[in-house]
């Protein structure tokens, strides 16, 4: 099972539809400071159901929608879709490929999609239950989180162990 | 639930000790312990589901210390060892690491990239990095840029 | 005290705008603003000594945003620009930077090291780094090692 | 004015007397992870009067004393001394060189020295008043502090401005 395609449109610094085809092995995303690398990571966390503004480095919910540049107007919708190849039947469905999508309108509405059909967040969460995939599972790690994993205080560590048992 | 948790904890602990030795050098050791809290009355609870998980690390020749006293690079490597110890018990289909290799010196960077390669049979890795050595060790490289100010585009993909 | 603070604030602000342009690229702008808090009754205090100092940054072509929305590397560079803006008003005899260059890409690393060189007439710099390009740009290099486990020794000093 | 010599003995990972002669320009300290680079920075902060355990990455006060290895016994005293060249008469004294030292015994006593004479912490602080030198002045910066300098919350930023005015 692996992430095979990510499509971003109107999310953060992606005003034009952008497609990334991922391979299953080890890949790296490189580029200058501020060019949008961590925004790609935020897009993956977001489509997996991340609800916290802080985890998406935003101050308010609509900070995820493209806010415009000196040459482009701000957009009113952010949309991300992620295709997952289900080759090891980890996901509880007979589809060999699963596509999840999330859309957010500046007016405040959020829509979730599973293989093109509108669903609720609960349905996305139950699809990924016990698979190690999800916005807060230990599959997305940034340098700042290293302190959290190691610190007693927030007991993030317990969460990692509970997810695994 | 208790039995399962204790069983998983023991498996992760064994993995952590082994992986820590691989990521650090000969003679470096580490361990995981369940620490039971005292409640207000001083009674020690024996419920593993409530206990804290303590990491102790003993880099080569040093006395066992709490991980707070380790250096920046040692802490990063310890957290990675723990993450992989858990992945051995329950592999995650993918793992995204955003500039986690920044604090590592040249030798540890090599060990880190070799470990990633080893785990990549079960787990897909997507690494964000500024380290040229990490860029050389991956299968596919995606370049991003903001040629038009404020707009991210994917420039080129290089396959090995 | 108020007059002096306002005067210093204005000097730092001018410096910050200039240095930010040098550290970032053409077209990047930044500014400092004094933001007066409202107290419980909604009355806005006019005492500059109580006000918050707000940083706004507007990287090339982007809209002015709060610094929270900048990337890791952009935040580091902004903090450095502010530090040097203050040093212009009140030079510190020495400055020790511990792996502050880690999040920077190759281009920003060059600008960072050029800025350090410029300020080194008034301020002594001691940099801790794993970046080979930073090592090449300094006057003196001190190597440390733990050949005997747990014991730090200074190995060699290289003068340019 | 610049730091010309640092002598460390019994502090953290320095069981044997170690001397570093600094030059006035730009220098770098390099070495493998865990080899003692940040311990050198802690020694400078400590001799300048740093009182906080957290700022010295310690859990208790005697964590600064060499705690032993498999081949060496723990020591009972930590001592750091710093020589500062006062060539621009920034420091309010006629000496062209000033040496400050700090000693800590596991028993809990702390001693401060100024040019070899025992003094109190207050005397060290008043020597450095308004010079931009001191444990919490903005002369020692690590990567984690970048977030603090930029964040509104702790208002560390105000402190920087007040120090400068
Ligand atoms: N809603 C938005 N609309 C437009 N641009 C945005 C939006 N949110 C964030 N950005 C821009 O994205 C940039 C940050 O991108 P990102 O954090 O992905 O950089 P990065 O490539 O990870 O850089 P670094 O190497 O420094 O970590 C910022 O400059 C910010 O202005
Ligand atoms: N009181 C002490 N006695 C003996 N050793 C100590 C003491 N305090 C800290 N250490 C050791 O010093 C080491 C940390 O050194 P330091 O943080 O300076 O590393 P560093 O060179 O900065 O590494 P990095 O490049 O990873 O940041 C730890 O391994 C720790 O065990
Ligand atoms: Mg980033
Ligand atoms: Mg360090």
Task: Write down the pLDDT at residue C28.
Answer: 83
HSE-up of residue C118 (Cα within 13 Å, Cβ side): 14
Distance CA C74, CA A5 (A): 28
Task: Write down the pLDDT at residue A152.
Answer: 56
Average pLDDT, chain B: 88
Q: How confident is the model at residue B50 (pLDDT cuts 50, 70, 90)?
A: confident
Ranking A125-129, A148-152, B33-37, B156-160 by mean pLDDT, the lowest is A148-152
Ranking A158-162, B128-132, D73-77, D92-96 by mean pLDDT, the lowest is A158-162
D111: which strand partners? Answer: D103
Q: Which ligand is nearest to the CA of D34?
A: 2
- According to the per-residue pLDDT averaged within each range, which of A130-139, A156-165, C13-22 is highest? C13-22
Return the exposure string of A124-143: e unless at least 16 CB atoms fall within 10 Å of the residue's CB, then b.
Answer: beebbeebbbbbbbbbbbbb
CA of residue A159 to ligand 2 center, whole Å: 29
**D48 has a pLDDT exceeding 90:** yes
CA of residue B42 to ligand 2 center, whole Å: 35
Distance CA B135, CA B157 (A): 12
Q: How confident is the model at residue A154 (pLDDT cuts 50, 70, 90)?
A: very low
Determine the residue of chain D that is closest to C100 in CA distance.
Answer: D143
Distance CA D102, CA D111 (A): 6
Determine the residue of chain C that is closest to D23 in CA distance.
Answer: C140
Task: With beta carbons under 8 A apart, name residues in chain A contacting B154.
Answer: 18, 20
Distance CA A33, CA C132 (A): 18
| Residue of C65, C71, C112 to mutate for A, most A C-beta atoms under 10 A | C71
Q: Using CB atoms within 10 A of its CB, is residue C20 exposed (0-12), middle (13-18) or buried (19+)? A: buried
Could you tell me the strand order of the sheet in which A110-114 lies?
A: A18-21, A2-9, A77-85, A97-105, A110-114, A117-119
Per this entry, what is the length of chain A?
Answer: 165
Average pLDDT, chain A: 89
């Amino acid at each position: 099972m692996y992430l095979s395609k990510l499509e971003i449109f109107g999310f953060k610094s992606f005003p034009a539809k952008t497609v990334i085809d991922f391979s299953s092995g080890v890949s790296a995303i490189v580029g200058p400071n501020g060019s949008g690398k961590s925004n790609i990571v935020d897009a993956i966390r977001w489509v997996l159901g991340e609800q916290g503004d802080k985890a998406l480095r935003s101050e308010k919910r609509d900070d995820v929608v493209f806010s415009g540049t000196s040459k482009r107007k701000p957009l009113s919708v952010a949309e991300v879709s992620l295709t997952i190849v289900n080759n090891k039947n980890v996901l509880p469905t007979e589809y060999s490929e699963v596509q999840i999508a999330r859309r957010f309108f500046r007016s405040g509405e959020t829509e979730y999609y599973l293989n093109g059909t509108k669903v609720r967040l609960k349905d996305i969460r139950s699809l990924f239950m016990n698979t190690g995939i999800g916005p807060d599972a230990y599959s997305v790690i940034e340098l700042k989180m290293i302190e959290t994993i190691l610190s007693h205080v927030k007991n993030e560590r317990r969460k990692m162990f509970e997810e695994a048992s | 639930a208790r039995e399962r948790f204790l069983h998983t904890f023991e498996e992760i602990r064994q993995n952590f000790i082994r992986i820590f030795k691989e990521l650090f050098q000969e003679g470096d050791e580490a361990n995981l312990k369940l620490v039971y809290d005292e409640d207000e009355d001083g009674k020690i609870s024996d419920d593993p589901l409530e206990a804290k998980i303590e990491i102790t690390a003993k880099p080569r020749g040093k006395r066992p210390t709490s991980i707070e006293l380790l250096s920046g690079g040692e802490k990063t490597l310890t957290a990675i060892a723990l993450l992989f110890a858990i992945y051995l018990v329950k592999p995650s289909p993918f793992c995204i690491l955003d500039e986690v290799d920044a604090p590592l010196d040249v030798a540890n960077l090599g060990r880190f990239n070799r470990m990633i390669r080893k785990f990549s049979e079960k787990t897909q890795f997507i690494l964000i990095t500024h380290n040229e050595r990490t860029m050389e060790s991956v299968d596919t490289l995606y370049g991003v840029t903001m040629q038009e100010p404020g707009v991210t585009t994917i420039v080129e993909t290089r396959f090995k």
